[in-house]
């Protein structure tokens, strides 16, 4: 299946500090590549995988599950670990969810998390209908391009695949069940105006992750896809400063 423009994975061999950067649900690497390239230009090794079912057509997502997405995340992290002394994980939206899961599963290897508008639940009323609707309707209208900056395009699907969305809720449950394992330093960049992920998600993570090093950075001039929005520079420089502070580099 041909990839949509921008969906190619991104990789850069830099120094001994590595960063895994993850895109969101129905999105693709395009949404986080400028972030990844900024970190690469700063001398870091970087991997941006394309998660299974993403970056082709929305129907492909409905034959994948969160375990498929996580397996690709785990594989990419292992690649970085093979050549880097220290590896951080960063992600947008579901990419943040997967970053949290990786921190839970590989606590001694993930050095820290820098996540943007992460999700661990949804307040949408129709979420309760997903177990049934996924057998009846293949998709809902999409949630893509929640970007305040004019002309922004993350290259995401214009449909929300319901079987995949139902699987996403199981990822959230897994993350919440094991949140006590997240002891790494965390910085969360949260858009004040986000039409996809509610602020209660960041509130829950900060309240329940036992890490002693937790920071929230508010983004005043961006919507959900903040990595392509007006506050992108805050995310880029802030995440690099986070890495340098933790590593003393």
- Domain residue spans of the chain: 10-244
> Which residue numbers are catalytic?
93, 194, 224
Rounded to an integer, what distance in angstroms lies between the CA atom of residue 186 and that of residue 164?
Answer: 27
Q: How does residue 136 score in pLDDT terms, banded at 50, 70 and 90? A: very low
pLDDT at 127 (0 to 100):
55
**What's the distance, Cα to Cα, between the start and end of the chain in Å?**
42
Q: Is 90 exceeded by the pLDDT of residue 159?
A: no
Mean pLDDT score of the chain: 93
Alpha-carbon distances of 150 from 52, 201, 215, rounded to whole Å: 29, 27, 29
Question: What kind of architecture, by CATH, is found in domain 10-244?
Answer: 3-Layer(aba) Sandwich (3.40)
Q: Which helix (H) or strand (E) holds 143?
A: none
Q: For 138-160, what is the mean pLDDT? A: 83
Is pTM beyond 0.75 here?
yes
């Amino acid at each position: 299946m041909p990839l949509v423009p921008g969906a190619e994975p991104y990789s850069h061999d830099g120094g001994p500090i590595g960063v895994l950067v993850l895109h969101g649900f129905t999105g693709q690497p395009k949404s986080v590549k400028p972030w990844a390239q900024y970190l690469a230009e700063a001398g870091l090794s970087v991997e941006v995988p394309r998660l299974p079912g993403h970056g082709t057509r929305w129907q492909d997502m409905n034959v994948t599950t969160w375990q498929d997405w996580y397996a690709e995340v785990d594989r990419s992290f292992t690649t970085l670990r093979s050549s880097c002394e220290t590896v951080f994980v960063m992600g947008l939206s579901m990419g943040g969810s997967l970053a949290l899961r990786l921190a839970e599963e590989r606590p001694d290897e993930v050095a820290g998390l820098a996540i943007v508008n992460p999700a661990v639940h949804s307040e949408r009323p129709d979420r309760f209908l997903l177990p049934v609707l996924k057998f009846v309707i293949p998709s809902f209208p999409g949630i893509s391009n929640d970007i305040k900056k004019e002309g922004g395009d993350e290259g995401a699907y214009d449909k929300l695949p319901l079987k995949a969305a139902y699987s996403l809720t199981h990822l959230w449950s897994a993350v919440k069940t094991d949140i006590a394992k997240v002891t790494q330093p965390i910085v969360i960049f949260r858009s004040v105006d986000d039409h996809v992920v509610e602020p209660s998600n960041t509130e829950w993570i900060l309240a329940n992750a036992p890490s002693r090093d937790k920071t929230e950075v508010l983004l005043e001039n961006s919507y959900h896809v903040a990595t392509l929005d007006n506050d992108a520079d805050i995310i880029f420089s802030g995440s690099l400063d986070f890495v340098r502070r933790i590593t003393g580099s």
